[in-house]
Structure 1
Amino acid sequence: MTDQDRRTGRDETEEERADRMWGELIQEVRVAQTGVQILFGFLLTVVFQQKYAELSDADRAIYIVTVVLGASATGALIGPVSLHRLVAGRKVKPQAVRLASGLTQVGLFLLLATMTSSLVLILRVATGGSGVTWVVVAVVVWYLVCWYGLPFWSRRRHSAR
């Protein structure tokens, strides 16, 4: 048994592992892309609504930051698709998987920031600002538990075996 077999728990070559990991990564990215594209599409329509003119300067600034974050998240989460197209057939899939995984992590962080600022804006407009901080903090903590806490806990718990 090689070191590679012990690390992956599978009898696969580096190329087979890269193929499997690429397929898994693309499935994960599809889920995140759908969410960020729906959110970003919604954000793009806000500026054309009548209520936009009534927003305070602070709320407009939050909106602009949110749109830029959404655009950045979209770019990072679509990046792996472009990467794959541009390097396909060049025998660099293991390196492409690592790069695409990094882009996906950046995209998920930007998606978290986009969702956070969207929530801040929506709750500020809907409630006039009362209690927004605590609700946003609670939701962000929930995201962090779901997106990072549970996966890290599971990885640590099951890696020890």
Structure 2
Amino acid sequence: MTAQQDGATRRRGRNETEEERADRMWVELLQEVRVAQMGVQILFGFLLTVVFTPKYDDLDSTDQTIYIVTVVLGAAATGALIGPVSLHRLVSGRLIKPKAVEWASRFTLIGLILLLVTMASSLLLILRVATHDGYVPWLVTGVVVWYVVCWFVLPLWARRRYTE
């Protein structure tokens, strides 16, 4: 499929210029980012408080390592999901909105992947501390598979099924 055909397929039913399309996609992207940002910011805020609780000192070195990795992942996810807002603010009015939408979309995808890993490691830590049972990795794996299906597999399947 050529780039022109691909563009025609994606724009089926819409008669919009490249700039109009970029404007629409930008608004849609910001709505999506707002949802993800809220989740990652709440999670990250919670994670930041854990180190100041008495329970933190009782964690073994493995759990403390999981915690530190989780906080760093949460910080990275926060940065990636806030990136589109900063990008928009710094390039607004520079007549590069189609390219900015592309870059912001990449930031968002990276942010979602980092959020998935942050949530998985948070769940791992919480379940390890709460249960100390051998089934914890299986539970975490099941939840990660669920996230992957909901966040990536189903959307990619729908994209392939209904746009080609």
> Which residue pairs with 2:137 in the alignment?
133
Structure 1 residue aligned with 2:26, among 13, 17, 22? Answer: 22
- For residues 148 and 53 of structure 1, the distance between their equivalents in structure 2, rounded to whole angstroms, comes to 37
Asked if the contact 1:116/1:140 (under 8 Å) is kept, the reply is yes
> Which residue pairs with 1:114 in the alignment?
118
Q: Does 1:8 pair with 2:11?
A: yes
The letter for the 1-side match of 2:163 is S
Task: Give the percent of matched residue pairs that are identical in Structure 1 and Structure 2.
Answer: 68
Q: Does 1:70 pair with 2:89?
A: no
The letter for the 2-side match of 1:126 is A
Question: Is there any run of 5+ residues in structure 1 with no aligned partner, and where?
Answer: none
Normalization by structure 2: what TM-score?
0.94
The letter for the 1-side match of 2:11 is T
Instruction: Go from structure 1 to structure 2 and tell me whether the alpha carbon gap of 1:100 and 1:69 turns closer, same or farther (over 3 Å shift).
Output: same
Q: Does 1:103 pair with 2:107?
A: yes
- Cα deviations by residue, 1:123-152 (Å, 9 ceiling, x for unpaired): 000011421111001000000010011101
- Cα deviations by residue, 1:19-70 (Å, 9 ceiling, x for unpaired): 0000000000000000000000000010011110100000000000000000
- For residues 157 and 127 of structure 1, the distance between their equivalents in structure 2, rounded to whole angstroms, comes to 42
Asked if the contact 1:5/1:11 (under 8 Å) is kept, the reply is no
Say which SS state the counterpart of residue 147 (structure 1) adopts: helix
> Which residue pairs with 1:86 in the alignment?
90
Q: Does 1:145 pair with 2:144?
A: no
- The CA deviation at 1:159 is 1.6
- For residues 120 and 134 of structure 2, the distance between their equivalents in structure 1, rounded to whole angstroms, comes to 16
Asked if the contact 2:127/2:136 (under 8 Å) is kept, the reply is yes
- The CA deviation at 1:156 is 1.4
> Which residue pairs with 1:31 in the alignment?
35
Asked if the contact 1:59/1:121 (under 8 Å) is kept, the reply is yes
- The CA deviation at 1:5 is 4.5
Q: What value does the CA root-mean-square deviation take over the aligned residues? A: 1.2
Normalization by structure 1: what TM-score?
0.95
Question: Is there any run of 5+ residues in structure 2 with no aligned partner, and where?
Answer: none
Q: Does 1:45 pair with 2:45?
A: no
Runs (4+) of structure 1 exceeding 2 A deviation are 2-7
Instruction: Go from structure 1 to structure 2 and tell me whether the alpha carbon gap of 1:6 and 1:63 turns closer, same or farther (over 3 Å shift).
Output: closer
- The CA deviation at 1:117 is 0.4
